[in-house]
Amino acid sequence: MSKTFELLKRTYPVSEFDRSCDGYEYIMNNSTAELRQALGINEDELQSVIQAGEKYIYQVAKEGNKFKTMCLCFKNYEIIRTKIFGFEDE
């Protein structure tokens, strides 16, 4: 049984409090130190916390029968898009 991923909503709110960045967790949990180095990802430049007052990406998706949410800072989102998935900006 394959899991299908469907993005349901993406918004760009301003954080009311410090919160962890799911993008940081995604990068660190889905890659090895060697892979991050090969992709040119500097771990010191990753942002682990979205600060209060900072605009961020909040998205809700459905994968299979489960709903998933993510809070991502723009910096880590760019790294995921460009270095992990290889997307280029137009």
- List per-residue pLDDT tens for the chain, 90 residues long: 457 889 999 999 999 999 999 999 999 999 999 999 999 999 999 999 999 999 999 999 999 889 999 999 999 999 999 998 888 876
Q: Tell me the two tokens of residue 34.
A: 């060697």
Would you state the pLDDT for residue 88? 84
Would you state the pLDDT for residue 1? 45
Q: Tell me the domain boundaries of the chain.
A: 5-84
The CA distances from residue 37 to 5, 11, 80, in Å, are 28, 31, 14
Output b/e per residue, 22-36; b: 16+ Cβ within 10 A.
bbbebbeeebeeeeb
How far is 35 from 54, CA to CA, in rounded Å?
29
3-state secondary structure of 7: strand
Would you state the pLDDT for residue 2? 54
